[in-house]
Structure 1
């Protein structure tokens, strides 16, 4: 079974500002801001939805096909990182005209953030043909990435008859309601956090029951409260793990999705797959960054058993 992971690949560059932004802003001059904040402790980390999901899947022993776009001049370091994980770049389009997507984040002492995001190569569609896919066995996830692909790939998967998970995330505000509804319709599962679910319902003018007429499952992550799975048969709740020290919640959603996909690839019931996702998320939030957590497969399943009991397969 192949797992196709569409989404973004990006460099996250993070700095700290040793002060407060508000101390350097002049209220009566906000219409013409011209200020420089000198940051410190610059770090660069690998990120992006496809990279984050693929990273945790690799820790779980999977070799997903990453479907994305990256820049020619700067992707080499990221590519090397992926290959160390056992992941190849066959599904990644190298764009000669642009750099890999990058996000610059500066945080002040009051936890305020100024973020500048350059989509770069993410502005180009992936152009992957999925010739190697087996629609009867394989599964795909459409996570936030190139906007056109977010719409076109669900169409392609429907035509192929392949199961796909629709996960629009950060793309929700960039896509009109009718396009979101089109991409969601025919999906096997729609996944989001609770705020994003509300945004999608407002954008599409649909309630939860109406969405479930267009997709089999609606999986909603609830942070420290775990997640809830809705289907025509009702709802099922999966708790988050207790006693976890939260250092940085960034990337927890992508780790959850990786665990969910791992469970589905093993033939687990959706509730069990969501529990695997919860375990993955617990590792991620204990580290700063989206691809900094590390575990062995043996340690992971021990972790799962400790929290949920022995894993069950179909």
Structure 2
């Protein structure tokens, strides 16, 4: 099974604030916030949702096709991704704009305040997914992750027109999409990915009930942070998978992207949704041990040990064959 991942490709500027954001906010003055946080650490890392997910899939042994728009400064990043198993030949390079930037500050409670500059990502709407599919050959699933909003909708339309299965991961772009656009993006998706807050926002924007959403997607995967993951589908019992416990989280940035990479790799291998979700949680736990979204390394026995310790032997045995490519 081959997966194309569409969405943002960015450079991350990650800072840490040694205090708590909540202590700086005055409840009756939130309409006039003007704050500056003195950070005590800065890390400049490779990022972007689509690139993060593609990286994870590549590390797990798949060869995902990355689809997005970048600036002329992308070449070193391209080499990094190709070295980690990602097909970057369908990435569009802008002639005038820089690669997108993600600037994020994390406080002591792991709360985050972030700003995203789209830059070249705005040109993603010019990408013709038909041409990508023709170049790459058979694609079994297209993941539509946060991107230029028009690009996201265009990719969904193309998938429907060609009968190519797709997964919808609107994530941060739920704030930019209106209700009709969210409905169009989600309708017919094999999988819908949201976190707990995005779930509420999606329901508010679409005007749909949870039952309405479940009638329109093959499966709804909702991440709940330390509380784990819930997978629902119409006319079936919900599946709850607890998170893998991590002592001393280093950096939470990219944990959701890592989960998606593990989950999608599992589904590509044909294991059960439970096993795919357990793998996703194990990969996500690994990311929490590192600063940056693509700095982690996956070692077969370490991943399997996290799965065995948290969930028992069942899925570890099912995943062992597929993880043989890891060291």
Normalising TM by the smaller chain, what interval? 0.7 to 0.9
Residue aligning to 1:143: 145
Aligned-pair CA distance for 1:112:
7.9
Q: Deviations over 1:222-247 (max 9, x none)?
A: 11111111112121111111354322
Residue aligning to 2:57: 57
Asked if 2 retains the 8 angstrom alpha-carbon contact of 1:13 and 1:43, the reply is: yes
CA distance in 2, matches of 1:155, 1:258: 23
* 1:208–1:116 CA distance, 2 compared to 1 (3 A): closer
Q: Deviations over 1:138-192 (max 9, x none)?
A: 1121111121111111111111212111000000010111111111111111111
Correspondent of 2:202 among 200, 203, 219: 200
How many equivalent pairs are there? 307
Q: Deviations over 1:118-139 (max 9, x none)?
A: 210111123342214666x611
Residue aligning to 2:173: 171
Asked if 2 retains the 8 angstrom alpha-carbon contact of 1:258 and 1:277, the reply is: yes
Residue aligning to 1:274: 277
CA distance in 1, matches of 2:214, 2:38: 49
Bigger mean CA deviation after superposition, 152-161 or 167-176: 152-161
* 1:287–1:234 CA distance, 2 compared to 1 (3 A): same
| Match status 1:66 vs 2:66 | yes
Indicate the RMSD between aligned Cα atoms, in angstroms: 2.9
* 1:122–1:208 CA distance, 2 compared to 1 (3 A): same
| Match status 1:238 vs 2:241 | yes
Alignment of 1:199-238 (within 5 A): 199-232=201-234, 233-238=236-241
Gaps of 5+ in 2: 320-327
Residue aligning to 2:323: none
* 1:104–1:63 CA distance, 2 compared to 1 (3 A): same
* 1:17–1:192 CA distance, 2 compared to 1 (3 A): closer
Which has more helix, going by share of residues? 2
CA distance in 2, matches of 1:32, 1:278: 36
* 1:159–1:111 CA distance, 2 compared to 1 (3 A): closer
Find the residue that maps to 1:237 and give its secondary structure.
strand
Asked if 2 retains the 8 angstrom alpha-carbon contact of 1:189 and 1:218, the reply is: yes
Residue aligning to 1:46: 46
What TM-score do you get using the length of structure 2 for normalisation? Answer: 0.84
